[in-house]
Amino acid sequence: MTTPITRINPVLIDIPMPVETDRLTIRPPQPGDGIRVTEAKRETWADLTRWMDWATGEPDPSADEAVMREAQARFILRTDLMMLAFDRTTGKPVVFTGLHRNNWHARIFEIGYWVPTSARGQGYATEAANALTRFAFQALAARKVIITHAAGNEASAAVIHRLGYTLESVERFGTTLPDSTVVDQYRYARFDANGLPDLAIRW
């Protein structure tokens, strides 16, 4: 007789929030966030429509508000952990991020991020991804944290390299860009938080 595999119901996993660094407060979406997402998308749309598969059509406040409320629900259900990172001084959202495609049994999580044009070049994406990497290992008992980027997305690759992720695989023709180009996808992983750039963090 084989022993059945016991799998935890992810809804029962406690996820401490918010996560704070010296510069950022990182939290799940909540009602009212939609308009801020729309504003951030509008200033960044040309770049987002280059790289992000969800960036089609035009940013719309009602649609974004619905996405934020649905994402809050998915966070509670643990099916996806979308998060927003706010600059603690200005209160502005500076990174749209989260832990996605989560495998709660294997404890494997994937970080995603985008930064509004006006907030680029200040290390916010690197700081948020550093924080979520630490959070995944230390608060969620991660075995592995993944970040991927499409071939040619050098800004995203730079974030990944700054955080000491190592290349795990290159999937040939692994992703389709919004303009329908099919390109390779680079997949990087970390198996612990050792050697990440120093970061004061609490949750």
Ligand X SMILES: CC(C)(COP(=O)(O)OP(=O)(O)OC[C@H]1O[C@@H](n2cnc3c(N)ncnc32)[C@H](O)[C@@H]1OP(=O)(O)O)[C@@H](O)C(=O)NCCC(=O)NCCS
Residues that bind ligand X (CB under 6 A): 47-48, 51-52, 113-115, 120-126, 148-149, 153, 155-156, 158-159
At its nearest, how many Å lie between ligand X and the CB of residue 10?
A: 24
At its nearest, how many Å lie between ligand X and the CB of residue 196?
A: 12
Report the distance separating Cα 40 and Cα 192, nearest Å. 32
In the sheet that holds 93-103, the strands lie side by side as: 166-176, 182-190, 144-150, 108-114, 93-103, 81-87, 24-27, 19-21, 201-202
Q: Which is nearer to ligand X, 75 or 114 (CB)?
A: 114
Q: Which is nearer to ligand X, 18 or 178 (CB)?
A: 178
CA angle 68, 30, 41 (to 5 degrees): 45
Question: Does 10 sit behind a cis peptide bond, omega within 30 degrees of 0 on the bond before it?
Answer: no
Q: Which is nearer to ligand X, 52 or 108 (CB)?
A: 52
Q: Which is nearer to ligand X, 16 or 121 (CB)?
A: 121
Report the distance separating Cα 187 and Cα 87, nearest Å. 28
At its nearest, how many Å lie between ligand X and the CB of residue 147?
A: 7
AA identity, residue 42 = R
At its nearest, how many Å lie between ligand X and the CB of residue 40?
A: 10
At its nearest, how many Å lie between ligand X and the CB of residue 115?
A: 4
At its nearest, how many Å lie between ligand X and the CB of residue 116?
A: 8
- Which structure tokens are listed for 37? 């997402």
CA nearest neighbour of 186 among 142, 154, 138: 154
Report the distance separating Cα 85 and Cα 124, nearest Å. 9
Residue 35 three-state SS: helix
Q: Which is nearer to ligand X, 10 or 162 (CB)?
A: 162
The strand pairing partners of 112, in sequence order, are 98
Q: Which is nearer to ligand X, 91 or 121 (CB)?
A: 121
Our CA dihedral for 155, 156, 161, 164, rounded to 10 degrees, sits at 150
